[in-house]
Structure 1
Amino acid sequence: MTPAPLRQHRPVATATVSPLRWLVSWWEVIFFGAVLLVLALSPSSYRDPRMRAALARHAWTDTAPILLGFSMLSALLTVVLTRIVVVTARSYGLSQYALEMVIRVLVLELIPLTAALFVALRCTIPNGAALAEMRRTGRFQALRRAGVDPLVREVLPRMLAGAFSAITLAALSCFVAAVLAYLAVYQLTPAGLPAYTRMFSHVFNPSVSLIFTIKTVFFALAVSVIPMASGAYDDYAAAPSSRESAALQGLVRMFAVLLLLESVSLVGNYY
């Protein structure tokens, strides 16, 4: 029978190892993302015709099928939210602040975050799971034996396509929301353009515009890099991987990073 003192010390050892494994896993995700960014900025990564063909294919399949649907969803959300805010503001005598509130909440905060989550759930997390399946079936090892880097051939096109899709959806949906917010308040008359452009420039001042751009880019990188790192974890991690699902790992880590980025942007915009 195991002595009682030994049984009491086992949970302490597990509690000591778990934070270390957590830190190591996050460090390797960061390192893996840095490797992908270096490859993305290296011209030699694009010399392979198969890599360029894979990049074009993934960029099309990750963006085109969801572009119209997400734009329509953003349009519907804009019309509903604008109507609610305008009617509520009028009842309190705050009509002059209604449109600015819609732009700040919808265009500045909600749409970039929603676009990133939409791309993650629709494209990048399934792509990360597909990479994990390739790893399990020996696809990566076969590419190495053929003298091809699996990061360049399989991982990099999916990462770039995911980032492109997130940025494209966010940019187009913000434009649609800005146009529909104007139409919901001023209808088809150009009489409101001076006031609207003045309000828009007040909201998107240089500092807010810079934060908005950086946040959108980092959202795109987060939803494209983290699922890829989780999918290729066993091949490029220094420590042995656990048996957790690659999709679940990517989802949890991605949500944590998105929450951190959104919190930092809110602090930069309003404090």
Structure 2
Amino acid sequence: MISSTSIPAALRRLHRSAMSWLGGWWRLLHFAVLMLELALMPSSYRQPLRPALARQLVQATAPNLLWFTVLASLISLVLIRIVVVTSQSYGLSRFALEMVVRVLVLELIPLTAAAFVALRSTLPTGLELAQRRAEGDFGAQASGMALLRSEYFPRVAAGVFAVWLLAAVSCVLTLLLAYLSLYGFTPWALDGYTRVVGQVFNPAVALILLLKIVFFSFAAGLIPMASSFYDGASYRPRASHGLNDMVRVFGVILLIEIASLMGNYY
């Protein structure tokens, strides 16, 4: 039999967990507002902050662009081949291009770009900043706007921009590979190809794709940095710190993907 004292204790633990969960999302929202404020301030792009912003943009995009482009190309070629062979076996060849565009360009490429940037750039950078704050590297600026402007805003902007660039380049490359895989090196199929792609990218679908990439970039760029900023002072080297950020990032990405699927197909 459960003792009468265990029920209030369980309720208190549940209350603390709920308040901690709500507090974490409230801090994330507050951090996002601060980053938006800095993004709209001209002083964030002037000297001496401009070199740091440019350096973070290059570091977040240049190393990842080559590897992600190669990865996206290989995945696209394999999936395009699978879709083409499967559609031909069922006599549905006329739907192959539309299926390739919907599966790869609308769904898989943006999702993979956000996950790639989060794992390769923003999550490790967030852990690094949290460790530096715990070690006192930033001194008296450890919790002020100066720290946000000089250290956090360039990294958030770099993470957001990296998702945009990787998704845009990979989507264009996938469309090119789809054309070459289906029609070969001939210009005579461009009319039918552009007609099918244009039918897929109607205004509603194009808007949903754009919004999805934007929110993916916000999730990958903001969540690790917000956790680093608010929890960095109490950071301890442990796996759970980065794991919690990873779970939160991919949880938000999953919710955005579900919302986009509902907008496209319901």
What residue in structure 2 maps to residue 261 of structure 1? 256
How much has 1:38 moved relative to structure 2? 1.4
Find the aligned partners of 1:16 and 1:144 in 2 and give their Cα distance: 30
- Flag the 1:148–1:230 CA change in 2: closer, same or farther, 3 A: closer
- RMSD of the alignment, in Å? 2.1
Specify every segment of 5 or more residues in structure 1 that has no aligned partner in the other structure, as ranges. none
Equivalent residue number for residue 10 of structure 2:
11
Distance 1:73 1:268, change over 3 A: same
Distance 1:258 1:148 in 2: 28
Whole-angstrom distance in 2 between the partners of 1:89 and 1:229: 46
Q: Deviations over 1:101-150 (max 9, x none)?
A: 000000111000100000000000011101101210113333369x9710
- Hey, what's the Cα distance between the residues in 2 that align with 1:244 and 1:67? 28
CA positional deviation for 1:234 = 3.1
- Other-structure match for 1:41: 40
The answer to whether residue 91 in structure 2 is matched with residue 71 in structure 1 is: no
Q: Which residue does the alignment assign to 2:24?
A: 25
2:205 is the alignment partner of 1:203: no
Aligned 8 A contact 1:104 1:203 in 2: yes
CA contact (8 A) 1:75 1:176 kept: yes
Inter-partner Cα distance in structure 1 for 2:102 and 2:42: 38
Q: 2:117 aligns with which of 112, 119, 124?
A: 119
Task: List aligned pairs for 1:1-271, cutoff 5 A.
Answer: 5-49=4-48, 51-143=49-141, 149-234=146-231, 245-271=240-266
Query: How far apart, in 2, do the equivalents of 1:102 and 1:206 lie?
Result: 19
Assess if the C-alpha contact under 8 Å between 2:83 and 2:96 holds in 1: yes
Letter aligned with residue 131 of structure 1: L
Instruction: Give the Cα–Cα distance (whole angstroms) in 2 for the partners of residues 10 and 241 of structure 1.
Output: 28
Do the aligned partners of 1:159 and 1:224 also contact (CA within 8 Å) in 2? yes
Deviations 1:145-176 (A, max 9, x none): 9x971000100000001111111000000011
User: What SS is found at the alignment partner of 2:188?
Assistant: helix
Normalised by the size of structure 2, how large is the TM-score?
A: 0.93
Separation in 1, partners of 2:235, 2:120: 25
Query: CA-to-partner distance for each residue in 1:163-213, whole Å, 9 max, x for gaps?
Result: 111110000000110000000010001121111000000000111111111
Give distance in 2, aligned partners of 1:115 and 1:59. Answer: 16
Q: Is the 8 A contact 1:45 1:152 kept in 2?
A: yes
Work out the CA distance in 2 between the residues paired with 1:151 and 1:9: 41
Q: Retained in 2: the 8 A contact 1:208–1:269?
A: yes
SS class of match (2:185): coil
**Structure 2: gaps spanning 5 or more residues:** none
Matched AA of 1:11:
A
Amino acid at match of 2:46: R
Residue-pair matches, total: 263
Moved more, 113-122 or 71-80: 71-80
Distance in 1, Cα, partners of 2:175 & 2:6: 63
